[in-house]
Amino acid sequence: MASTTLNPTAPAYRSRSTLYEWLTTTDHKKIGIMYLVNSFVFFVAGGILALVVRTELAQPGLQVVSEEFYNQAFTMHASFMLFLFIIPILAGFGNYVVPLQIGAPDMAFPRINALSLWLLPLGGLLMGSGFFVSGGSAASGWTEYPPLSGAKFSGTGTDLWIVGLTLIGTSSILGAVNFLVTIFKMRAPGVTLFRMSILTWTVLVTSVLVLMATPVLTSALIMLFIDRNYGGHFFDPNNGGNAVLYQNIFWFYSHPAVYIMVLPAMGIISEVLPVFSRKPLFGYKAFVFATVGIGALGFSVWAHHMFTTGAVFLPFFSLMTFLIAVPTGVKMFNWIATLWRGQLVFKTPLLFAMGFLSLFLIGGLNGAFSAAVPVDFALHDTYWVVAHLHYVLFGGSVFGVFAGIYYWFPKMTGRMLGEGLGKVQFVLLFIGMNMTFFPMHQLGLAGMPRRIADYAATSGWTELNLLATVGGFVIAISMLPFFWNVLVSLRNGKVAGDDPWEANTLEWATSSPPPPYNFDHLPEVRSERPVFDARHGRTAAH
């Protein structure tokens, strides 16, 4: 149906190769897809590093890697997964979906959009190139606390990590400006703020968080770089600096970053749950306010990562950390109320969205333990925290990402992903995820600190570590049906049509894949579900 051709074609306008087309494109859809592909490259790299870590921990004693490489492995695992997989892949969904959902032809600044994309592989390669310099990559954990990350204790890999992350941060900031301008200035007629999709709302709030927090991270990185290379003493206690200052600045970014990593995933499942329940999202406005509330409270909880430093005012951060559970809980209840009395269609996107609900619930509840400061004294920096953050970021964000991929793949490619393989992947991933990360609760309670390469055979941690390692490989295996599914479906998948899911939002009102500049005609927008309204004759059809 919808298609546009440049007519008449200017004689000087030569057609270029497809590769050239993709490398130079400013089309938000192609850029969005490249965001996803780039993110998956780093997902695989980070996953391999995670398997190195898990393999080493399967048994007491050092079998696979040296202590030095072990530290590099978990540092780069986290750096890749957080900065080069979760954050960019969610930005990728935002890039692809948000202009479509608000009825815009493209992002507001298409060339800046291309710049945001191409900074990512550059930053990632710089970070990763640490493995090839003497002394290896950054190895002080993804948090890179000084003095350990200072020049005295860490090598060139840390400088590469700082420079790479600064570029990635710049990409985020440019992307956030672009999203904000796009969302505020480029909405189609009828798309008022309170008729925007929830995904668009979460991208909006996320962009505000990025804009306020990421420059602060950049400042911490620059100070660290000056300390390391030009004799600065910002974080050097021997010369009047303060080591805890870095932690304050770092977490002032990195706690809001947790919401940067999870809000858009919440947005994705808020698209998926209503479509596959055949109901509107329950409590749309409550949901919007909860999202804004999380964004605002998210700036007042950073020091809960620092309860054991002895340098923070504990009751305040404890209170705020408890309070931020409330808007998150409101969302959970609204999601369940969306399912309630619906007609659930169990396609793969819904499975992943319900997987998100089940696992993110655990990630929220085990977080409450650490909000109780005295309990955090016992659990901080143990495997309990590793369990908590993976239930939030893997059980939450990653399950949201897969829900989004199965949901929008037909729109992006015009073909459906196979349902059978999708369900196989879901079952394997769900089992593997719990097998890997659930035992970490008990390991933490039994006193196993995180970031150790080895433990004594007498410590009683062996069985649970072995179980977690087996689970890690189940997760790895669950990726095989996924990648196979993508490869096969790209060529031979069922043809999707414009609206295979009977969905609600504007991206389903155009062809799959959409033409350049997205729409020939837009349906009338009278609610947050314009395509639903058109399908059911509530507004004029497109």
Partner 1 sequence: MSMPPRSRTGSGPLVAGLIIAAVVAVSVLLLAASGATPTGVWNSFFPVHNEGGVTDRSTSVQNLYDIVFYIAVVIFLIVEGLIVWSAFRYRRKPGDTELPPQTHGNNLVEVIWTVIPTAIVLFLFVLSWQTLNTVEAKVPSDVHVRAVAARFQWSFDYLDADGKTLFTQALPVGDTGGMVVPVGEPVLVDLRSDDVIHAFYVPKFLFKRDVVPGKTNTFNFTVEEPGTYRGQCAELCGAFHGSMLFEVHAVSKGDFDTWLADQVAKANATPPPSPSGAAAGPVVELGALNVAFSTNALTAPANAPFTIHFKNDDDKVPHNVEIKDASGGAAFVGDTITGVAEINYNVPPLKPGAYTFVCTVHPNMTGTLTVQ
Subset of 370-389 contacting partner 1 (CB under 8 A): 371-375, 377-382
For tokens 């507001």, name the residue.
108
Query: What is the token pair recorded at 282?
Result: 């329950």
Q: Where are the alpha helices (DSSP H) in 67-154?
A: 67-79, 87-101, 110-128
Strand partners, 157: 137
Does 345 bind partner 1 (CB under 8 A)? Our answer is: yes
Count of Cβ atoms closer than 10 Å to residue 140 Cβ: 21
- Among positions 37, 344, 477, 490, the unique one binding partner 1 when judged by CB under 8 A: 344
With beta carbons less than 8 A apart as the criterion, state whether 386 and 440 touch.
yes
Shortest distance, position 120 Cβ to partner 1, whole Å? 27
Does 337 bind partner 1 (CB under 8 A)? Our answer is: yes
**Under 8 Å CB-to-CB from 145, ≥6 apart: which residues?**
243, 246, 247, 250
What number of chain residues touch partner 1 (CB under 8 A)?
103
Closer residue to partner 1 in complex, CB, 33/435: 435
Does 219 bind partner 1 (CB under 8 A)? Our answer is: no
Does 453 bind partner 1 (CB under 8 A)? Our answer is: yes
Query: What is the token pair recorded at 520?
Result: 């020939």
Expressed in angstroms, the distance from the first to the final Cα of the chain is: 11
Site string for partner 1, 423-442 (x = CB under 8 A): x--xx--xx--xx-----xx
Residues 539 and 131: their CA atoms lie apart, in Å, by 58
Choose among 204, 320, 286, 299: nearest CA to 257.
Answer: 299
Burial class (CB in 10 A: 0-12, 13-18, 19+), 457: exposed
491-530 positions binding partner 1, by CB under 8 A: 502
For tokens 């991270």, name the residue.
217
- Among positions 95, 207, 366, 478, the unique one binding partner 1 when judged by CB under 8 A: 366
Shortest distance, position 340 Cβ to partner 1, whole Å? 6
For tokens 């590469």, name the residue.
160
Closer residue to partner 1 in complex, CB, 14/536: 536
- Among positions 25, 39, 113, 140, the unique one binding partner 1 when judged by CB under 8 A: 140
Closer residue to partner 1 in complex, CB, 231/460: 460
141-180 positions binding partner 1, by CB under 8 A: 141, 145, 147-148, 153
Shortest distance, position 232 Cβ to partner 1, whole Å? 15
- Among positions 104, 350, 386, 416, the unique one binding partner 1 when judged by CB under 8 A: 350
Closer residue to partner 1 in complex, CB, 129/143: 143
Residues 523 and 497: their CA atoms lie apart, in Å, by 17
Site string for partner 1, 313-332 (x = CB under 8 A): -xx--xx--xx-xx--xx-x
| Exposure of 151 in the CB half-sphere (CA atoms within 13 A) | 13
What does residue 298 show for φ and ψ, rounded to 5 degrees?
-60, -20
Closer residue to partner 1 in complex, CB, 89/350: 350
Shortest distance, position 188 Cβ to partner 1, whole Å? 22
* Positive/negative CA dihedral, 436, 442, 448, 450: positive
Residues 445 and 447: their CA atoms lie apart, in Å, by 5
Query: What is the token pair recorded at 134?
Result: 């003497």
Closer residue to partner 1 in complex, CB, 211/314: 314
Does 292 bind partner 1 (CB under 8 A)? Our answer is: no
Shortest distance, position 541 Cβ to partner 1, whole Å? 8
Choose among 92, 100, 4, 3: nearest CA to 40.
Answer: 92
Shortest distance, position 466 Cβ to partner 1, whole Å? 9
Shortest distance, position 401 Cβ to partner 1, whole Å? 19
58-117 positions binding partner 1, by CB under 8 A: 66-68, 71
With beta carbons less than 8 A apart as the criterion, state whether 220 and 169 touch.
no
Give the interface segment with partner 1, choosing from 89-97, 311-319, 401-409, 485-493 (CB under 8 A). 311-319
224-263 positions binding partner 1, by CB under 8 A: 237-238, 241-244
DSSP 391-435: IIIIIIIIHHHHHHHHHHHHHHHSBPPPHHHHHHHHHHHHHHHHH
Shortest distance, position 408 Cβ to partner 1, whole Å? 20
Shortest distance, position 435 Cβ to partner 1, whole Å? 7
Which one-letter amino acid corresponds to residue 52?
Answer: V
Shortest distance, position 308 Cβ to partner 1, whole Å? 5
Closer residue to partner 1 in complex, CB, 323/476: 323
Does 445 bind partner 1 (CB under 8 A)? Our answer is: yes
10-49 positions binding partner 1, by CB under 8 A: none
Residues 488 and 96: their CA atoms lie apart, in Å, by 22
- Among positions 50, 354, 468, 496, the unique one binding partner 1 when judged by CB under 8 A: 354
183-202 positions binding partner 1, by CB under 8 A: none
